[in-house]
């Protein structure tokens, strides 16, 4: 009996070993020339919560403290929630309470809450997506739990202040009241995610052009149809005062499953909006992800950037449609690629971004300076200008959109 049991046990073990070897073989074939590690190791690593991310058993704190294990967050979850601290770019959705959230819904429209005063910081954590660090945000000036405060002091980077007025518009500084309004619309890039109030594009433009009032109606996480809703609300508040519209078109607005998920939808809507509101000038600012600006530095297999769509066809259609509509066109990628040439290093492109998509203080400054140059402001609305760079790797132009025959 014992002998038979041992034989059966041996057969079971042998079958498991054979199954594992077959699985490893299939995995090896799939990985091709990328045999970085075995399937078994990855499984063990995942179970022990050491993947993805930095290895917790190595000391990475050479220059600054680094979060290398999920437990660092888990241990403080209750304290985070009690203090109204939310963690963006993470799995901790339970922390996105009404107190912590920046947005709400009014009359069916996503809107940013009025009278917000938040402090935000990136955390040095290598647990999730490269180039998309975990963010911590909470009420400015609030009394945090001592452990939470110590955690943010230890792992936080630059702290920024994010405020809105009573209408839910991101504060534009310096404060200017003028009859002529310039609306800056879009998602979190327009809003100025992870920038101080005075560093947003609207604030940069306001300082350079004090004769007009810049209004920032950007909303974090907004899709194109929600941006349109925000524009309609702005038209009611500033009826007859909007002279110019600056629309930041992010690559994540290309969505087949959304009501305004294609360039044709957005440009057509903007044409009608500009006509009805009597807007003199519309400028499209194209905001690509770094995965398409410098793909050879930012695309990692198994992460978001690894299979991020190039959106080449959508972008080409957007350029052509913007030109036919008489809109100006500027591509942030061109400024980033100019930095590569100026600084003589491919990594210089990243200085214009704070993460995978959002613009840095340097990025908003470069864009604002370009938009306020006499070369742009004096061009007739349907003129075609030569690009600053004759032909970039993306085939982009900086200036007015050029339609192909």
Asked if pLDDT for residue 5 goes beyond 70, the answer is: no
| Share of residues in the chain with pLDDT > 90 (%) | 74
pLDDT digits (tens, 9 = 90+) for 67-126: 989 999 999 999 999 999 999 999 999 999 999 999 999 999 999 999 999 999 999 997
DSSP state of 100: T
pLDDT digits (tens, 9 = 90+) for 120-153: 999 999 788 999 999 999 999 999 999 999 999 9
Give the mean pLDDT of 155-177.
98
pLDDT of 403 reads 39
pLDDT digits (tens, 9 = 90+) for 169-199: 999 999 999 999 999 999 999 999 999 999 9
Q: Residue 60: pLDDT band by 50, 70, 90 thresholds?
A: confident
pLDDT of 373 reads 86
> Is this model's pTM higher than 0.85 or not?
no
Q: Where does 169-398 sit in CATH, by number?
A: 3.40.50.1110
Q: Residue 235: pLDDT band by 50, 70, 90 thresholds?
A: very high
The residues with which 105 forms a beta bridge, in sequence order, are 110
pLDDT of 100 reads 96
CB 78 within 8 A of CB 97: no
Asked if pLDDT for residue 227 goes beyond 70, the answer is: yes
Give dist(CA 185, CA 83) in Å, integer.
31
Q: Residue 362: pLDDT band by 50, 70, 90 thresholds?
A: very high
> Bigger pLDDT: 25 or 362?
362
Q: Residue 59: pLDDT band by 50, 70, 90 thresholds?
A: confident
Give the mean pLDDT of 166-170.
98
**What are the start and end residues of each CATH 3.40.50.1110 domain in the chain?**
169-398
pLDDT of 33 reads 42
> Bigger pLDDT: 307 or 34?
307
Q: Residue 6: pLDDT band by 50, 70, 90 thresholds?
A: low
CA distances from 26 to 32, 42, 255 (A): 10, 15, 34
């Amino acid at each position: 009996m014992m002998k038979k049991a041992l034989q059966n046990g041996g057969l079971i073990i042998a079958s498991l070993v054979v199954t594992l070897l077959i699985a490893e073989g299939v995995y090896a074939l799939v990985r091709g020339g990328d045999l970085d590690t075995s399937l078994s190791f990855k499984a063990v690593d995942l179970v022990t919560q050491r993947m993805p991310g930095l290895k917790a058993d190595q000391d990475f704190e050479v220059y600054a403290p680094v979060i290398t294990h999920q437990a660092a967050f888990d241990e403080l979850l209750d304290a985070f929630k009690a203090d109204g601290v939310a963690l963006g770019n993470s799995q901790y959705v339970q922390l996105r309470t009404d107190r912590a959230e920046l947005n709400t819904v009014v009359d069916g429209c996503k809107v940013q809450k009025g009278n917000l005063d938040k402090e935000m910081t990136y955390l040095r954590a290598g647990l999730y997506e490269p180039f998309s660090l975990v963010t911590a945000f909470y009420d400015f000036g609030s009394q945090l739990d001592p452990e939470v405060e110590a955690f943010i002091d230890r792992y936080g980077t630059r702290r920024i202040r994010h405020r809105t007025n009573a209408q839910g518009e991101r504060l534009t500084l310096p404060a200017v009241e003028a009859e002529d309004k310039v609306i800056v619309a879009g998602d979190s890039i327009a809003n100025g995610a992870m920038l101080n109030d005075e560093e947003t594009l609207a604030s940069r433009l306001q300082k350079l052009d004090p004769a007009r009032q810049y209004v920032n109606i950007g909303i974090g996480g907004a899709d194109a149809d929600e941006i349109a809703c925000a524009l309609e609300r702005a038209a009611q508040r500033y009826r007859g005062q909007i002279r110019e519209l600056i629309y930041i078109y992010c690559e994540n607005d290309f969505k087949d499953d959304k009501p305004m998920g294609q360039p044709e939808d957005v440009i057509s809507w903007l044409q009608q909006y500009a006509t009805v509101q009597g807007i003199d000038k519309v400028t499209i600012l194209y905001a690509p992800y770094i995965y398409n600006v410098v793909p050879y530095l930012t695309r990692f297999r198994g992460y978001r950037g690894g299979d991020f769509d190039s959106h080449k066809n959508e972008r080409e259609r957007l350029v052509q449609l913007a030109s036919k509509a008489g809109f100006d066109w500027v591509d942030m990628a061109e400024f980033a690629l100019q930095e590569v040439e100026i600084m003589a290093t491919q990594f210089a492109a990243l200085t214009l971004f704070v993460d995978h998509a959002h613009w840095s203080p340097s990025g908003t400054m470069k864009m604002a300076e370009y938009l306020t140059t006499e070369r742009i402001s004096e061009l007739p609305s349907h003129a075609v200008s030569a690009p600053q760079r004759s032909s970039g790797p993306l085939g982009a132009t900086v200036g007015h959109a050029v339609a192909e025959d």
